[in-house]
Structure 1
Amino acid sequence: MSRRSRNDKYEPINWHEIFQRIDSDEDGFILRSELKQYLLRTPVSEVPLSDDMVDSMLYHVDYNNDGFINLQEFYGLVNVPVDAKTRSVVQRTLVATAFSIAPRSQVSHGDRHYIAEYSCCPPPLLIPLLCTAEVGVFVYYAVTMGDVGPYSPVPWSSPLIYNPHRRLELWRFISYMFLHAGYVHLLSNVIVALFVGIPLEMVHHWWRLLILYVAGVLAGSLAASMFDPQSYLVGASGGCYALIAAHLANIILNWAEMPFNWVRLLVLVTLMTTDIAVFAYMTINETTTRVSYVAHLAGFVVGLLLGMVTLRNLREHRWEIILKWLGLAVFLCLIIAAIVIQVVFPDVVGLYPPMPARQPFQNLMAENTSEIIV
């Protein structure tokens, strides 16, 4: 063996270059779970690294326990405090991995950042619990009123319903979400909430989803009370549409980190277009409907604006920060304006007095010929 080849053999390894090769999307981070798979499936000796050993080493060097390995932590992995033979295997495996990874044009783990955030620990409980509560309230009124059907029962006298005559009972602006006008209405809201809410909760956690859901419900009742001031209101459609819009906010914030981003956007645009088309058809043909499209729209707008503020942004850019604060400002302006109209200028939109005179509930219903909207 020549002197030159021997020097080449023992030439120091440029670990920064190795890190950059493995960091195929050049964001300065390598997914810990992905690096583990690299180490396990790139054997360089007859005795491969074990699963437990790799887990232990990566946990040891991931100092902030964020699930990613940065350059400093990578240097720690290269010099991991184990026996010399194991350390040599780790180093050789990292080198082999770096030169076996396809270029970024062919594969990039950046698109898997969002998937890595999915977690069932703790399990998503908020959305299932809300849906269970809505089903339980529906069953209670179906039993007590002795009626169940596609569009019944409607518990007009319930303390939970949004009653335009009793606007001083402020809880009604939110509690109406637990009531539904028939099992068709209930099932549609429950299915939508489970379908769009659980994936969000697994990434963004329950308290963010609770803020969005309740804000959408509140926005729906405030908007319906102003644009259809004589109607009663039941249903969680405002909250459901807030969750749908939150998916759009999520796509905006985490576009680069999210797989199938165009597919997700296309599905959301299809849902929005369908609802807008139905609303336009109903308006043009002056068709009477029990659906409050304005509550749907209000919930959607709030979900989009507030979603950009409350949802997690996995990789924050300057324009996203500006968009977030702009969304929060618009949301606060809309909510404050709606509350001011409710309190100071109720006559402008034709609202009833905030509390009725002392008279039987049946008399109030006889005076109010408007149908319930959902």
Structure 2
Amino acid sequence: MFKKKPSTLVSTLRKSKDKSNSLLPSTVERSEVRRGGKVYEPPVVDSSTGIYIHNISESASTSSEDSTSNIPYSSFPLTILLILIEAILVTIPFITCTIAPFSINPMFGPYPTTLDAWGAKNAYKMIVDGEWERLITPIFLHAGLIHFVSNVVIQMDQCKQYESEWGSLLYGVIYVCSGVCGNLMSSVFKPGVLGVGASGAIMGVLGARVGEGLVKFNDSDGGIVDLSDTVCSIIVVMALSFVPFVDWPAHLGGAVSGVSLGIVFFSWLSWKGGKYKRRHKCKCFSIFVGIATFLGITTCISMLFLVNWSQYEELDDVCGHFEAYYAQFGEEFVCECDGNRAADYWNKYNNNDD
């Protein structure tokens, strides 16, 4: 065996270091490698230390932009359909009836009598007159143009992404069920107030996203990253909770039911598919939340039948109700935009065609 002299060994090491420095510059830089026809960017390398540097903020922003943009329209057909229905139901009252004054409806929309004629949440008519469809119809109505635009912005910014990830069926179930639960809670806590809006259903979708993030908390980083945008959207929707004809119980009920549905559905899916860890805990958690949600809905329905509805009898005549209400403030309410006005318009339109 031949042994190299120390000086020779040192010179050899220096030469190898010089070669590595020629391959790795002294400054931090990023190289691009093409793999499979796509550009792959490896992590940043600091050649002085040989340590890989991962730019977390840059990758997070890139993934966020990719997740919300370039989503094909075919992946969220239900969101588009719902927006079209809402747009039609916002436009027709403008045609059949005049816009209410700002003092009556600051959302740039119709009179409350028109909203009631089109199916606004009216708890008295639901219980006494049996118009239970009013638990669903308010989901597609809006107090005015401002209310409609604010909801559409959230639907096109957040909800379309969730539908593309979850599928239209699951998205539709969460959307409708959350909206119904929101109107149910509104009927319990504000039985003497009319209410409209898709906000309760949208809050349910956002809440389901939170539920999904809770289920995947230790198993998927992606579910946690999206919660920041979701929480911001929830804050925006809650800011609209205190304008006329848009009530906070519907928003709160939709959000709570959405979180519950999200936990139940995604816990069940994770347990069934075995995709995430802690399957046994997910199963038990989903059963517990499901039972709690069922008991909550049952309690709300029971409370509806315990209310003394005779004190809200004026809601059977919405026109007279609002005339008396605005008379307290010395303001005249002209009841000219109700269901009869819309019916007269369409009868006149059909007669002209004949």
Normalising by structure 2, what TM-score? 0.61
Q: Which residue of 2 aligns with 1:302?
A: 257
Higher helix share: 2
Q: Tell whether 2:253 aligns with 1:293.
A: no
Cα offsets for 1:261-294 (capped at 9, x unmatched)? 4432333445556777998xx8xxxxx8654122
The alpha-carbon distance between structure 1 residues 177 and 224, as it changes in their structure 2 partners (threshold 3 A), is same
Alpha-carbon separation, structure 2, partners of 1:182 and 1:310: 34
The size of the alignment, in residue pairs, is 257
Alpha-carbon separation, structure 2, partners of 1:180 and 1:275: 13
Q: Tell whether 2:139 aligns with 1:187.
A: no
RMSD: 4.1
Q: Which residue of 2 aligns with 1:233?
A: 195
Q: Which residue of 1 aligns with 2:122?
A: 163
What displacement does 1:139 show?
A: 0.7
Cα offsets for 1:166-211 (capped at 9, x unmatched)? 1120001110112111111001112212222211111211111111
The alpha-carbon distance between structure 1 residues 315 and 202, as it changes in their structure 2 partners (threshold 3 A), is same
Q: Secondary structure at the match of 2:285?
A: helix
The alpha-carbon distance between structure 1 residues 121 and 307, as it changes in their structure 2 partners (threshold 3 A), is same
Contact 1:193 1:243 in 2 (8 A): no
Alpha-carbon separation, structure 2, partners of 1:160 and 1:217: 14
The alpha-carbon distance between structure 1 residues 353 and 310, as it changes in their structure 2 partners (threshold 3 A), is farther
Normalising by structure 1, what TM-score? 0.58
Contact 1:159 1:172 in 2 (8 A): no
Alpha-carbon separation, structure 1, partners of 2:287 and 2:181: 19
What displacement does 1:157 show?
A: 4.0
Q: Which residue of 2 aligns with 1:59?
A: none
Alpha-carbon separation, structure 2, partners of 1:217 and 1:275: 14
**Unpaired runs of 5+ in structure 2?**
1-33, 38-52, 55-59, 101-105, 334-354
The alpha-carbon distance between structure 1 residues 325 and 194, as it changes in their structure 2 partners (threshold 3 A), is farther
Alignment of 1:183-222 (within 5 A): 183-222=145-184
Cα offsets for 1:5-60 (capped at 9, x unmatched)? xxxxxxxxxxxxxxxxxxxxxxxxxxxxxxxxx9958xxxxxxxxxxxxxxxxxxx
Q: Report the identity percentage.
A: 20
Contact 1:160 1:178 in 2 (8 A): no
The alpha-carbon distance between structure 1 residues 121 and 131, as it changes in their structure 2 partners (threshold 3 A), is closer
Q: Which residue of 2 aligns with 1:352?
A: 312
What displacement does 1:254 show?
A: 3.0
Alignment of 1:216-365 (within 5 A): 216-255=178-217, 258-272=220-234, 291-311=246-266, 312-313=269-270, 314-315=275-276, 317-343=279-305, 345-347=306-308, 352=312, 356=316, 361-365=318-322
The alpha-carbon distance between structure 1 residues 147 and 278, as it changes in their structure 2 partners (threshold 3 A), is closer
The alpha-carbon distance between structure 1 residues 139 and 273, as it changes in their structure 2 partners (threshold 3 A), is closer
What displacement does 1:363 show?
A: 2.6
Residue identity in the other structure for 2:76: P
What displacement does 1:220 show?
A: 1.5
Q: Secondary structure at the match of 2:124?
A: coil
Residue identity in the other structure for 1:297: L
The alpha-carbon distance between structure 1 residues 335 and 158, as it changes in their structure 2 partners (threshold 3 A), is same
Cα offsets for 1:318-337 (capped at 9, x unmatched)? 22222211121111111111
Alpha-carbon separation, structure 2, partners of 1:275 and 1:121: 24
Residue identity in the other structure for 2:136: I
